Amino acid sequence: MRFLWKYLREHLGRISGVMGIKLIGTLLELLIPFVMEHLIDHVVPTGSFPHVLLWGAVMILLALAVRFLNVNANRLSVKTAKEATYRIRRDLFAAALRLSGGQMDRIGLPSLISRMTSDSYNVQSFTQSMQTIGIRAPIMLIGGIAVTLTMDTGLALILCVMAPVMIALVVFISVKGIPLYDRVQRGMDDMVRIMRENITGIRVVKALSREEHERRRFAAANAESTARDIKAGVTMALPGPLVTLFLNVGLALVVLLGARRVNDGQTEPGVILAFLTYFNMILMGVMGLNRIFMMLSKANASAKRIGEAVDSPVELTPIAEAASEEPPCPGFIVFDNVSFSYDASEEAADSKGFLGAERSRCLENVSFSIEKGGSLGIIGATGSGKTSIINLLMRFYDPQEGRIFVGGRDVRSYDADELHRMFGVVFQNDVIFADTIRENVVFGRDIDEAGVAEALADAMAAEFVNSYEDGVDHRAVIHGANFSGGQKQRLLVARALAGRHEILILDDSSSALDYRTDANLRRAIRENHGEATTIVIAQRISSIMSLDSIIMLDEGRIAGHGTHEELLRTCPAYRQIHETQMGEM
């Protein structure tokens, strides 16, 4: 729980105050049966009605004081837990934003979601209960035994024998339950993954009539997660019935032996009534400890999972600019013999051998350069490595071999923000946020209304945006589901153009556009954003044929590099694509 302590130590004063208040409240609560015993055994026999009223009033005042103290302690504990959890979620979100591509691949988006939701809730619940039940339960247990020892040592010995056995049982089972809750949270990751896939792909599921298949898939994951949860819950619930059995046996012994001691004149009836009350308090104390250990098991597993993400080291740290070598050739963007694989860990290479690692590469010995203000088109079959080039250029990953330069500097020498501010980019599966069109284009940058209007016009989006009564204030729903595919792509292009960045990347950003709109878009970018160094990834040759140069990728290797006319002469794969596509036109 070292991870959680980082967030609680700044609230140490308030936590100590809560525990102090709870301690006083619990001690006052322990006095109530003691006062009742005194009232029954010593006050009532005197026949003094005023004294009976006085001691009855004392009991009422104690009860009110206990309630007041408990309510305020609970309120403060909730405040502390919420503030700590707020910071944990904030840091987890910040960590998710700085994770490298490789770290994100290893953790997984569904796991990050469940860590942000169910895991952080487990931590919050434990933080809240630890301040209240965590002090009340042991004081109830120890204080109850201590008070009963002062009232009747013989009867109290029954509790002294049972208490260590019950505590040992609770601790033993709780230790066994901690690994089970880690499995429960991993099962939650699977459920979140399936749910996310179906929510984002609901149209595909409905279009292909796969609802029943997806229901069965979710039901299987849900059943597995439920089975794990039940196993953990049953394991952690075992102390409850066993503790109750022990205490009920003890209670029966107290009643039996107490009745005989009262009959023999060795103790008073009020003592027996007080003992019964203290038995209930001790039961609540043991059950409270069981609950704390259960919540500790959950919180420990959850805090560990959250800590893995929050404390993940920054993998892609900048290198010193002085350590950066000079690019091997002139150009604003230079790839120098770059090879890359998403799963090329040392373990994978060792298990597959060198040749296996080679075959798994997404890019193999890729080299090219682009002059400042120039343009490059990239085309190739699905899985040929087109998007991987962009991932490396923006340093979401580092290549296993080779170097990449931007502006005469190794991309590794840039700070992440400094590098990314150079790019205006439309990714292949980019996101429209649930906000206004204006905010989707501006995206938190310092762009005025004229800049928004200009970007929308250049992206061929102004016509449909202006058709809305509220114009740029028209709201997009989640994932832009109220826009057509072409409209979404044009809004994404407008977002990329609005910042007037040094480098413009369009990754399959016109696949949903008709040829006329695509041509107009390319013309507007060429005329109004010609100063940007442009990289266009496309499936259509018509989208890249007018660019300065084109790369034809084939299974991660460059099969051809040159202008459109040069590739038609020298690259059979490019020529085949051209004949197929142009023939269909």
Contacts of 283 (CB under 8 A, 6+ apart): 243, 244, 247
Q: Is the dihedral of CA 439, 443, 448, 454 positive or negative?
A: negative
d(CA 527, CA 455): 13
pLDDT band per the 50, 70, 90 thresholds, residue 207: low
Give the highest mean pLDDT range of 146-155, 260-269, 446-455: 446-455
Average pLDDT, the chain: 83
Range in 13-22, 61-70, 251-260, 410-419 the model is least confident about = 251-260
Q: What is the DSSP letter of 43?
A: I
d(CA 581, CA 545): 12
Kindly list the domain boundaries of the chain, sorted by start residue: 2-185+234-310
Segment 326-361, tens digit of pLDDT: 888 888 999 999 999 887 544 433 333 333 334 467
d(CA 344, CA 363): 12
Q: Is 47 helix (H, G, I), strand (E, B) or coil?
A: coil
Q: Is 441 helix (H, G, I), strand (E, B) or coil?
A: helix
Q: Is 334 helix (H, G, I), strand (E, B) or coil?
A: strand
In the prediction, which pLDDT does 534 show? 93
In the prediction, which pLDDT does 346 show? 41
In the prediction, which pLDDT does 233 show? 75
Q: Residue 322 burial (CB < 10 Å; 0-12/13-18/19+)?
A: exposed
- Asked if the model's pLDDT at residue 369 lies above 90, the reply is yes
Percent of the chain with pLDDT over 70: 92
In the prediction, which pLDDT does 162 show? 75
In the prediction, which pLDDT does 6 show? 86
- Asked if the model's pLDDT at residue 190 lies above 80, the reply is no
What are φ and ψ of residue 340, in 5° steps?
-155, 145
- Asked if the model's pLDDT at residue 82 lies above 50, the reply is yes
CATH architecture of 2-185+234-310: Up-down Bundle (1.20)
- Asked if the model's pLDDT at residue 585 lies above 50, the reply is no
In the prediction, which pLDDT does 349 show? 36
